[in-house]
């Protein structure tokens, strides 16, 4: 167990080092803008934490399309733009002690706050919800249909052609009482994405 924790810590350190390197390499940026859209391919993974079923790992991959709905709002450093996004998740693997099961899902609810910064790093906060369908019961003895909810803290790293994103995400997986018992799974995941912000039609440039 100690060896496994050490391996996970080393992976997290490598991800953080990659994030720092990308921060130093970016130059020109395409920022979120009023009426713009976001397109992103992302992947993430993590492990269960206390409060639910233990000894469970997850890895997932998805495609996001988002709409930036507002101009910058809010006071001081909280100023930002509101974005709504939808995720298609064609790959969702759940690693359980009894088995490894394949799943897929859709996240129709992603509410995101992109902070309005002037540099190449754009932090964001997000809450999300969706559904997950798996070939085997998750957790074992419960249901093949589950619902996902959670929140994320991350940052976009803006580049000349594409943007990177890096985030830490808490995700709760539960069947919402479709079966009993319903222990659920609480996970903490690290997610990495690559994509771009698309300007609105008739845009003449991006404002912070």
The answer for 37, left when phi > 0, alpha when psi is -120 to 50, beta otherwise, is: beta
Residue 158 lies inside a defined structural domain of this protein: yes
Contact 66, 38 (CB under 8 A): yes
Q: How far apart are CA 129 and CA 29, in angstroms?
A: 30
The DSSP H or E segment spanning 9 is: helix 2-25
Residue 2's pLDDT is 44
Dihedral class, residue 74 (left if φ above 0, else alpha if ψ from -120 to 50, else beta): left
Rg of the chain on CA atoms, in Å: 18
Residue 188 lies in a domain: yes
pLDDT in tens, the chain (208 residues): 445 545 555 666 666 556 555 554 444 456 777 778 999 999 999 999 998 899 999 999 999 999 999 999 999 889 999 999 999 999 999 999 999 999 999 999 999 999 998 888 999 999 999 999 999 999 999 999 999 999 999 999 998 889 999 999 999 999 999 998 899 999 999 999 999 998 776 554 444 5
Q: What is the CATH number of the domain that holds 171?
A: 2.40.160.20
Q: Within a domain: residue 204?
A: no
Domain annotation covers residue 76: yes
Q: Flag whether 129 is in a domain.
A: yes
- The domain in which residue 53 lies consists of 2-198
Beta strands 37-48 and 121-134: pairing type?
Answer: unpaired
Residue 207 domain-assigned? Answer: no
pLDDT value at position 160? Answer: 84
Indicate whether 49 belongs to any domain. yes
Instruction: Give the span between the Cα atoms of 137 and 133, in whole angstroms.
Output: 9
Has residue 164 been placed in a domain?
Answer: yes
Q: Is the pTM of this model over 0.75?
A: yes
Selection from 57, 63, 50, 54 nearest residue 7 by Cα: 57
> What's the number of domains the chain is made of?
1
């Amino acid at each position: 167990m100690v060896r496994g924790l050490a391996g996970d810590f080393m992976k997290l350190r490598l991800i953080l080092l990659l994030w720092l390197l990308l921060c130093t390499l970016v130059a020109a940026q395409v920022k979120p803008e009023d009426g713009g859209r976001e397109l992103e391919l992302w992947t993430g993974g993590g492990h269960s934490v206390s409060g639910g079923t233990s000894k469970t790992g997850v890895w997932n991959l998805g495609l996001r399309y988002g709409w930036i709905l507002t101009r910058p709002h809010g006071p001081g450093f909280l100023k930002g733009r509101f974005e709504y996004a939808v995720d298609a998740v064609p790959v969702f693997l759940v690693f359980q002690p009894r088995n490894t099961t394949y799943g897929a899902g859709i996240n129709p609810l992603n509410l995101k706050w992109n902070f309005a910064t002037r540099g190449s790093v754009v932090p964001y906060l997000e809450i999300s919800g969706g559904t997950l369908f798996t070939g085997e019961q998750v957790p074992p003895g419960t249901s093949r249909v589950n619902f996902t909810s959670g929140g994320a803290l991350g940052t976009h790293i803006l580049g000349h052609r594409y943007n990177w994103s890096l985030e830490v995400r808490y995700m709760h997986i539960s069947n919402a009482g479709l079966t009993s018992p319903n222990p659920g799974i609480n996970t903490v995941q690290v997610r990495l994405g690559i994509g771009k912000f698309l300007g609105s039609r008739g845009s003449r440039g991006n404002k912070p």
